[in-house]
Structures are given as structure tokens and as C-alpha cells.
Amino acid sequence: MTALERARRVGSEVAAKYADAVDREARFPGESLAALKESRLLGIMVPTELGGEGAPLSAVIEVCHVLGQYCASTAMVYAMHQIQVACFVRHGLQSEWHRAFLTRCAAEQLLIASATSEAGIGGDVRTSSCAVDLNGDRFYLKKNATVISYGDHADAILVTARRTPDSPASDQVIVLVLRPDYRLEQTSGWDTMGMRGTCSNGYWLHASGSPEQVLPLSFADISAQTMLPTSHIAWSSLWLGIATDAVERARAFIRAEARKKPGTTPPGAVRLAEVVGMLQQMKAGVVAATRRYEAAMQEPEELTSLSFAVGMNSLKTTASQTAVQVVNHALLICGIYGYRNDTDYSLGRHLRDTHSAAVMVSNDRILGHTASLLLVQKQDPGLFA
């Protein structure tokens, strides 16, 4: 079975079944993650010579899209894991240590979390206060991480930190720390409007390891070339998945209405036509950004260009807003049946989950960043170029 077929099965048979319970209880989607592991979907991006499937990014993006249609929290956990995997697949293959880790990742279906945000740095993940402190052949690292999504359930954590205790705040590296070598001390919980199953608690992270666990390339480069574009595309894709399911419910509602009164078009049908157009626009944005990124991956220079950053930022800010609009439209179509939490057309969870999109990495922050890039970036007058 292809990755897409396996994801569809995990989504429809497992994630869909537990999505409401995960949301209600704000608990980790353990059943879905177990099914994803059993379907060998966690390591698909790992190169074949290391035991993975060497799947392209687009395959992962498709899985995020499918999972988003059944359980947004499952899709978000999967997306975040793959963002971490992408960093090591694209920047760690020269390192024996990271090759060995990726081999384990594929064989044992390890789940990777991340600790990029930190208390006291004003929410900007591109600066760190904590540092890799090398002492002989071991490093020590202590981070007051405001968020480590699914930290309690991960096997390894990608951590950003200053290169040395003497480095400036922006001279950051990525370190991968392994479960036996770290300890988490929870500092905050996760009782939120939506995305309740990602269990994005805050923790003090205490870790140690060998210096080989630090990726050679700077975080600034890895962020621009991989983490940022992969995040924006994977997230947008799963938001598209949530919106797609909302529209599917609206379609089903209109069909049921039409059957009740053959020969007449239900009043909400026009709104359905409108929302299908919005969904199509959103999908086009995700597909175009994925293609653009896959083409640009061959040229690291292109990946650091301002126009590429503007393109990826804009995907995130627009997709996050459109997702809410689409779900809201679907809610208007389904009316009271969408508003209730106990019908086949319920849309409360979809609406709450999509509202996370604009605030998880604040759109205002991203728009501010884009605005400053636009002070020097030039308009692209072309269409297909």
C-alpha cells in the first residue's frame, strides 16, 4: 500500500473513531499514533539505504492532509514529527551519528518532538538563551521550554540552543537529544480551545549527550532551508484537511436536504458553491507552495532568497485565515445541525481546531516579518517562472 492509502486507513479506521474523545479529554491521540507506527508511516522520509522509504516531502504533505480530515491533533503531531525528521534527513546525512539515529527512527518508528520556544526571549525562536555547554566529551543543556508538544510521548527531542555559552543569542544550533539522556520537568499544561490532543505542555528540559548530536549547519540556515518551509506547508496542508472535512459535512447536509424535497435546490446550496471555491483556492496555494519548495530544494541559494521566505510566510498567513472562513461557511450551511455537538454535521471541533492556525506561531509576528522583507523585496511580474 502507498503511504497515502495507509494514511487513509489509519485516518478512517482509527483517528476518526477517537477524535472526539481526544478533543474532549485533551489527551494525546495514542491510538492514532500507534496505528501510524504500525503502518510504518513515521519514517517514510528516511532514505531507503537507512531503512526508510525515501518518500518525497509531497508524500508527507499528502498524509498530513488526509489525517487532518479525521483528527486535527493526530495530523498536527504527525506534521511536527515530520518537520523534525526533515531537518535531519536534509542536514544530518553527513553525520554518522544522525545516520544511525535515522536508521533507528525508521526501524523503531521513533517519534521526535521539538523544543524551539523558550521563556524569556520574547517568543522569537530565532534567538536562544540556553546554550550547549561542552565539558570534556559530553555536553549539558538546560532549557526552559515554554512548549514541547507531545513531550511526554516522544522518543527524542530536537532542541535549539546557542552554539556555546559565549555565543550571541542568534548563533544557534540544533541538537537532537534522546529519551534516556533527558529529563522533563513540567511547568505548564495544555487546556486550549482546539488542537487539544497535541499536549503542548511547557517543561524544563535537562539533557546531555555527545557533541556529535549537534547538527553541523547553523539553525539559521536549517530554519530558512528546511524547518520554516516544511512547517508552513505541512501545517497548511493539515488545515486544508480540516477544512476539507468541514466542506464534506456541508455537502452531505445539502444532499440530505435536497433528497427531502426533490426538485428544489436547498437554500444553503449557493453557499456551498461559494465555499467549494474557497477550498479550491486554499488547495491551490498548498499545492503550488509544495511544488515550489520541492523545486527549490535542489538550490540552497534559492531557499535563502527573500522571495521564497515571503512566499512561504504568505502561505501560512493566508491558509490559516482561509481555513477558519471555510469552516465558518460550512457551519452556516449546516446551521443548527453544525452547531450542535451530537450530529453527523457537527463542526465545533473543526472550528476550534482551525482557530489554532492563526495563533500557533502568531500571524501578526509572521506578517510583521514579511512586512520588513517587503521593504527590499521586489515584485515578481512573471506567472509560471
Partner 1 sequence: MTEEIRAILGTTGWLQADVSTLADGDDLYAAGLTSLASVNLMLALEDKFDVEFPERMLRRRTFESIAAIRGAIAELAGEQAPA
Q: Which of 136, 378, 383, 385 binds partner 1 (CB under 8 A)?
A: 378
For residue 180 the three cell numbers come to 534516556
By CB under 8 A, is residue 292 in contact with partner 1?
no
Q: How far out from the chain centre does Cα 207 lie?
A: 24
CB of 381 to partner 1, least distance (A): 10
* Residue 135, number of CB atoms within 10 A of its CB: 8
Are 72 and 353 contacting, i.e. CB atoms less than 8 angstroms apart?
A: yes
Residues 149-168 that bind partner 1 (CB under 8 A): 168
By CB under 8 A, is residue 169 in contact with partner 1?
yes
Q: Which stretch binds partner 1 (CB under 8 A): 4-12, 174-182, 317-325, 370-378?
A: 370-378
CB of 162 to partner 1, least distance (A): 11
Strand partners of residue 300: none
Beta carbon nearer to partner 1, 220 or 258? 220
Which residues lie below 8 Å from residue 79, measured CB to CB, with a gap of 6+?
A: 64, 231, 234, 235, 237, 238
Q: Which stretch binds partner 1 (CB under 8 A): 20-28, 58-66, 279-287, 297-305?
A: 297-305
CB of 371 to partner 1, least distance (A): 10
Beta carbon nearer to partner 1, 167 or 343? 167
- SS3 state at 170: coil
CB of 132 to partner 1, least distance (A): 15
By CB under 8 A, is residue 191 in contact with partner 1?
no
H or E element, residue 269: helix 269-296
By CB under 8 A, is residue 21 in contact with partner 1?
no
By CB under 8 A, is residue 306 in contact with partner 1?
yes
**Site size toward partner 1, by CB under 8 A:** 25
**Residues, the chain:** 385
Q: Which of 304, 314, 318, 325 binds partner 1 (CB under 8 A)?
A: 304
CB of 129 to partner 1, least distance (A): 13
Q: How far out from the chain centre does Cα 107 lie?
A: 23
In angstroms, rounded to a whole number, what is the distance separating the alpha carbons of residues 384 and 205?
46
Residues 47-86 that bind partner 1 (CB under 8 A): none
Beta carbon nearer to partner 1, 119 or 310? 310
CB of 292 to partner 1, least distance (A): 15
Residue pointed to by grid coordinates 556529535: 212
By CB under 8 A, is residue 321 in contact with partner 1?
no
By CB under 8 A, is residue 193 in contact with partner 1?
no
DSSP string, 323-336: HHHHHHHHHHHHTH
By CB under 8 A, is residue 364 in contact with partner 1?
no
Beta carbon nearer to partner 1, 168 or 277? 168
Are 215 and 92 contacting, i.e. CB atoms less than 8 angstroms apart?
A: yes
For residue 183 the three cell numbers come to 529529563
For residue 232 the three cell numbers come to 508552513
By CB under 8 A, is residue 305 in contact with partner 1?
yes
Residues 206-245 that bind partner 1 (CB under 8 A): 218, 220-221, 224
H or E element, residue 142: strand 138-149
Provide the pairing of β-strand 156-162 with 112-115.
parallel
CB of 208 to partner 1, least distance (A): 25
Q: Which of 260, 301, 383, 384 binds partner 1 (CB under 8 A)?
A: 301
Question: What angle (nearest 5°) sits at the alpha carbon of residue 68, between those of residues 247 and 174?
Answer: 145
Its sign, for the CA torsion 318, 324, 325, 326, is: positive
CB of 369 to partner 1, least distance (A): 7
- Taking the CA atoms of residue 162, residue 165, residue 170 and residue 172 in that order, the dihedral angle to the nearest 10 degrees is -20
Provide the pairing of β-strand 172-178 with 182-188.
unpaired
Residues 108-137 that bind partner 1 (CB under 8 A): 126-127
Residue pointed to by grid coordinates 534522546: 178
By CB under 8 A, is residue 377 in contact with partner 1?
yes
Residues at the contact surface with partner 1, assessed by CB under 8 A: 126-127, 168-171, 218, 220-221, 224, 301-302, 304-307, 309, 369, 372-373, 375-378, 380
